[in-house]
Chain A
Amino acid sequence: MYVAVKGGERAIENAHAWLAEERRGDTSVAELSIAQIREQLSLAVNRVMAEGSLFDPDLAALAIKQSRGDLIEAIFLIRAYRTTLPRFGASLPVETGDMACDRRISATFKDAPGGQVLGPTFDYTHRLLDFKLAAEGEVAPAAEGTPREEATPHITEFLQGEDVIQREPVGEAVPGDLTREPMEFPADRALRLQSLTRGDEGFILGMAYSTQRGYARNHAFVGELRIGKVAVEMEIPELGFAIEIGELELTECETVNQFQGSKTEPPQFTRGYGLVFGQSERKSIAMALVDRALRWEELGEDNLGAVAQDEEFVLSHSDNIQATGFLEHIKLPHYVDFQSELELVRKLRREAEERTAGYQEAAE
């Protein structure tokens, strides 16, 4: 039986008013602007864009402000907004080989053409709190070198020349879209990648780490990691040709994995791939490791029963909005459900007590 309960309206209204006040915090402290969040908390903005699956830095910054910095709540806001947008179409695939790289490193080739470009990285910092940042101050301008004119080639191209790395199947098939059709298993690699790139960073990181620790071990090197801007082009029907409709910052990671060969494939290096909105380095490396682990079947590897090889497990649990929705709904009123459970437990207890009493009588 469903019983509607009314009476919470005023409490809810007052709770939301208090939330607004708490969000603002101490009014003697200056209020944050959207631009400040966008510019100074840009990695949080990037995460919200990646997992919200919508590239719009101002919207992500607004969502972070509204959610008081709760990034999963912010991602929820972006996902909800995203569903209200009419879909104009799909872009042509972005060409990451033409990326204007801010950062580009390889753990496998020291002298790769284009070089090792560190970019604005946390690597090699000492991870000591910098108390200078607690005070306001000018930032010295970053050093400048001679800008590279030409595009930076992908590193795996060099391995491909020698034919020691698995070739990627090419094709122009229209990829499935999990925002339009519910995910079904087995999912193809296009759907897996779409799911992983919007998946929760913590979850994907945990899965990736499990493969490194020995569950579905596939020893990975970062063949290449690049961060920078790429142009997005789309065919415009009214024009009859494609134009650039914008520019995105992306992080791309390609792993090169040891591979002894299998029943169907010769010994060679295999690949995992990560591509994520924004400067999202940890996420894109993790994505590449999990992508590689999920490819066991196409590479003819054994299913070792590791969770990172189980696409249904990985993909069904990587979405933090689905997860938090189901997890958090249990805090909402379940009075009637609980009332019936309570009745049931009372009844079972009564029966158990009667049985015990019966045994005792029989024993006496």
Chain B
Amino acid sequence: MANEMNIGNSARKAWMGLMASAPEGAMMALWDAVDDRPKFDWLRAPEVGGVMVRGRMAGTGAPFNVGEMTVTRCSLVLKDGTVGHGYVQGRSKPKAEAAALIDALMQTEAADRVQRDVLSPLADQVAQAKTKRAAKAAATKVEFFTMVRGED
């Protein structure tokens, strides 16, 4: 049972994390193509706030405060009682709402459909963008070579 919970949590952590930093345009385009939106009630209407970001001294030591970032969050409940939470970077209330609805739907039998139509394509787009950046960085890696003088 505990094990099942952990697997559930790690899957939920993955989809919430994906939506938190995914580009809003890409996510909303996929979400807007999904029809039959469920009805819901707000538990907490979308609100914009700040989160203090911490770093570690020398990258590995004790924590210190670096500065804040904007985050928008909300919570809602579907008619069947499923609760969804949205936490997204930035100040977009529509994106937070979509994230909370998707989080709720992923706990219902609509999960496969939402995974297929929204989350998987979104994850692919995000991964592609990351790979592209890493590829550009790789092209700027210095290849040292040593000049050899004289004859052997």
Contact = CB atoms under 8 A, between A and B. Distances in A.
A116 to B, nearest CB: 4
B12 interface: yes
B51 A87 contact: yes
A205 interface: no
B52 A54 contact: no
A334 interface: no
Interface in A220-256: 228, 231-234, 236, 238-248, 250, 252, 254
Interface in B75-127: 75, 85, 87-91
Given A170-B61, A175-B64, 7 more contacts: A97-B60, A100-B130, A101-B137, A143-B136, A170-B60, A236-B87, A246-B71
A248 B89 CA distance: 10
A54 B61 contact: no
B68 A85 contact: yes
For B59, B71, B75, which residue has the most chain A Cβ atoms within 10 angstroms?
Answer: B59
Nearest to B60: A168
A87 B49 contact: yes
Nearest to A102: B137
B30 interface: no
Interface string A276-289: 11000000000000
A145 interface: yes
B2 interface: no
A58 interface: yes
A191 B57 CA distance: 11
Most chain A CB within a 10 A radius of its CB, from B53, B75, B134:
B53
Chain A residues touching B, majority SS = mixed
A144 B141 CA distance: 11
A193 B64 contact: yes
Contact of A85 (B16, B50, B62, B66): B50
A194 B140 CA distance: 32
A55 B61 CA distance: 23
A142 B136 contact: yes
Contacts of B68: 53-55, 82, 85, 87, 179
B135 A168 contact: no
Contact of B89 (A95, A238, A247): A247
B136 A144 contact: yes
Interface residues of A, number: 88
A147 to B, nearest CB: 3
B70 A119 contact: no
Interface of B: 9, 12-13, 16-17, 20-21, 47-71, 73, 75, 85, 87-91, 130-142, 144
Contacts of A245: 17, 20-21, 51, 69, 71, 87-89
A277 B144 CA distance: 31
Contact of B66 (A145, A244, A277): A277
A231 B22 CA distance: 12
B132 A144 contact: yes
A172 B61 CA distance: 9
Nearest to B67: A53
Given A88-B71, A248-B53, A271 B136 contact: no
Contacts of B87: 234, 236, 243, 245
A168 B57 contact: yes
Interface string A134-145: 000000001111
> Which of B51, B57, B91 has the most CB atoms of chain A within a 10 A radius of its CB?
B57
A143 B141 CA distance: 11
B17 A277 contact: no
A90 to B, nearest CB: 4
Of listed A93, A176, A248, residue having the most chain B CB within 10 A: A93
A111 interface: yes
A55 B142 contact: no
